[in-house]
Chains A and B, each alone.
Chain A
């Protein structure tokens, strides 16, 4: 089985979000970039398929050279090869188009992407790839098993989950549950040394027009001060929630 794991290169979850250039660019100053958490759960599941079922695992990213340390980290965790499409990730459609080309060229059976990236939160790349590839698609996937060309998966739905039966070629939008938080791997020294020698292919972008552009960013309006309520006076809280906030 050939697996492609799509990797977004995103600010760490603790990052403070600021913008520059008249609020049109993300301010990377002092920001640590990581593998998108939803992608990391998928990558770790892919490692399981590699170790238990002999799968080959490639990782891919659409971005400039600054994303390479993130791809090297994926190689250090255990991916066999990495591919970087050398173009800025302008919008979800453009990224899906590029990764679809990578997937077609590589002939992958299973494509694992995160449910969404934690920067743009678009959640559209896996679905768009599935549509462009004509592959099956399971979103918000929290469990995945593959047996030959058959697959079973569990999808999180609002208020519960559903089990599905499907087949390869398959695209999934993964998240926590594919593996547990405690299963995530920190690259060891041997992995890091090996990753240096693994192939990292840089390929040119396929011609495609983005469907959307970010005209500007805005930060949320500053919040008003908190109203503190005495724990001995809970009637006041109920009164405030009823008459002032009008939520009960």
Chain B
């Protein structure tokens, strides 16, 4: 019995989520009494996965898989899962993994449980807890198929070190030549932290009064190595791109620290950021509903508080470097 884990990489190195996912797969394998088999597609150094519990690493190196294509990647993972006799396949909540997981599930005849937040409550039958109603609640899902696919929610498990052999072997895949969807261009800022990967997110709302004031948000974010985000009205008014909109109909945020500046905290916004671990709210209105959902609050004017906070954090970082 084995748990297969898809370990994502970028530029030839494993992403942090790959290590978190391997840690999680190890937890599932322990519960089932099985081993962890990692699948790496044009990926990094297999030994890195050994530190987090991978017993074997199937290395797929194929020119066809140089750029991401959901259909080809799902086919490659399905072939690996079948070859390894996997009972459970673990994938992340990245845009690419969420894209390929339904295809993989159909290929394997497997139930797919996305947004899972913890180790299974039981593995026979497989029962997993996931977020539903956009983080306003959890569901305990019973999966009825023999093989299952589990999508781990962002930042839900953390890194757990577990020394294992990580015995690497090459695995060849057979892929259809025509995959139907061809990428013609990619537009991705490589120098910015993305909301998906960020450990800290700094988010601004209407309280910032206009796009010309976003340097306040960006300076604070740069100081913390954080991604920038915004509330729905801000993206609707075109102050910031849609890709920064956080909330029920925008992006979910599951960072370690979420700093909300000039955001009142509508229920839809709170749903999107519920999975963040620590929330700091800065708002002029002491009655803003966001304070009820916050861990730390400051009643004050962003234009006064934020620049001073940024300066103090710079000093703090310098002293603790």
Query: Hey, which bits of chain A sit against chain B, CB under 8 A?
Result: 11, 13-14, 16-17, 19, 37-38, 91-93, 96, 118-128, 130-132, 136-140, 142, 152, 155-167, 175-177, 181-182, 209-220, 223-224, 226-231, 234-235, 237-238, 240-242, 245, 247-248
Query: Hey, which bits of chain B sit against chain A, CB under 8 A?
Result: 70-71, 74, 94-96, 98-103, 105-107, 110-115, 127, 129, 131-145, 180-189, 192, 194-197, 199-200, 224, 236, 242-243, 245, 248-250, 256-257, 267-268, 271, 274, 277-278, 280-281, 291-301, 304-305, 308-309, 312-313, 316, 320
B283 to chain A, nearest CB (A): 11
Known contacts A165-B184, A215-B141, A123 near B257 by CB under 8 Å: no
16 A-B pairs besides A120-B132, A212-B113, A213-B142 with CB distance below 8 A are: A16-B267, A123-B98, A128-B103, A136-B180, A157-B96, A158-B94, A161-B187, A161-B188, A163-B183, A181-B236, A214-B139, A218-B129, A227-B297, A237-B296, A245-B257, A248-B313
CA–CA, A223 to B114, complex, Å? 25
Contact A139 B141 (CB under 8 A): no
Q: Taking CB as reference atom, which chain A residue is nearest B15? A: A158
Contact B111 A212 (CB under 8 A): yes
Known contacts A93-B111, A227-B296, A237-B298, A128 near B105 by CB under 8 Å: yes
Contact count A vs B, C-beta below 8 Å: 255
Residues of the B chain whose Cβ atoms lie less than 8 Å from the Cβ of A217: 132, 137-140
B157 to chain A, nearest CB (A): 17
Can you name 30 A-B pairs with beta carbons within 8 Å? A92-B102, A92-B112, A121-B115, A121-B133, A122-B114, A123-B98, A124-B102, A127-B103, A128-B103, A131-B102, A136-B181, A157-B188, A159-B189, A159-B196, A159-B197, A161-B188, A176-B245, A176-B250, A177-B242, A209-B144, A211-B110, A212-B143, A215-B127, A215-B140, A216-B139, A226-B295, A231-B300, A241-B257, A248-B200, A248-B313
CA–CA, A37 to B242, complex, Å? 15
A219 to chain B, nearest CB (A): 6
Residues of the A chain whose Cβ atoms lie less than 8 Å from the Cβ of B291: 226, 228
B211 to chain A, nearest CB (A): 17
A116 to chain B, nearest CB (A): 9
Q: Taking CB as reference atom, which chain B residue is nearest A181? A: B236
Contact B249 A176 (CB under 8 A): yes
Contact B98 A13 (CB under 8 A): no
Contact A241 B95 (CB under 8 A): no
Contact B278 A241 (CB under 8 A): yes
Q: Taking CB as reference atom, which chain B residue is nearest A126? A: B102
Contact A157 B95 (CB under 8 A): yes
CA–CA, A126 to B308, complex, Å? 47
CA–CA, A15 to B200, complex, Å? 28
Contact B308 A234 (CB under 8 A): yes
Residues of the A chain whose Cβ atoms lie less than 8 Å from the Cβ of B256: 247
Contact A156 B316 (CB under 8 A): no
B89 to chain A, nearest CB (A): 14
Residues of the A chain whose Cβ atoms lie less than 8 Å from the Cβ of B181: 136-138, 164-166
Known contacts A130-B103, A140-B99, A157-B95, A212 near B141 by CB under 8 Å: yes
Known contacts A38-B249, A142-B242, A238 near B139 by CB under 8 Å: no
Listed residue (B103, B143, B195, B196) with the most chain A CB atoms within 10 angstroms of its CB = B103
Contact A158 B313 (CB under 8 A): no
A62 to chain B, nearest CB (A): 16
B317 to chain A, nearest CB (A): 8
Known contacts A139-B99, A234-B305, A162 near B186 by CB under 8 Å: yes
Residues of the A chain whose Cβ atoms lie less than 8 Å from the Cβ of B196: 158-159
Known contacts A158-B196, A237-B280, A248-B224, A118 near B134 by CB under 8 Å: yes
Contact A226 B143 (CB under 8 A): no
Contact B102 A128 (CB under 8 A): yes
CA–CA, A130 to B181, complex, Å? 12
Q: Taking CB as reference atom, which chain B residue is nearest A26? A: B133
Q: Which of A19, A132, A238 is B137 in contact with, Cβ under 8 Å? A: A19
A120 to chain B, nearest CB (A): 6
CA–CA, A156 to B243, complex, Å? 8
Residues of the B chain whose Cβ atoms lie less than 8 Å from the Cβ of A161: 186-188, 243
Residues of the B chain whose Cβ atoms lie less than 8 Å from the Cβ of A182: 236
Residues of the A chain whose Cβ atoms lie less than 8 Å from the Cβ of B105: 93, 124, 128
A75 to chain B, nearest CB (A): 23
Known contacts A158-B95, A176-B242, A231-B300, A218 near B137 by CB under 8 Å: yes
Residues of the A chain whose Cβ atoms lie less than 8 Å from the Cβ of B131: 121
Residues of the B chain whose Cβ atoms lie less than 8 Å from the Cβ of A248: 200, 224, 257, 313, 316
Closest 10 CB pairs of A and B: A127-B102, A160-B188, A159-B194, A231-B300, A211-B111, A131-B106, A158-B196, A136-B180, A247-B257, A124-B102
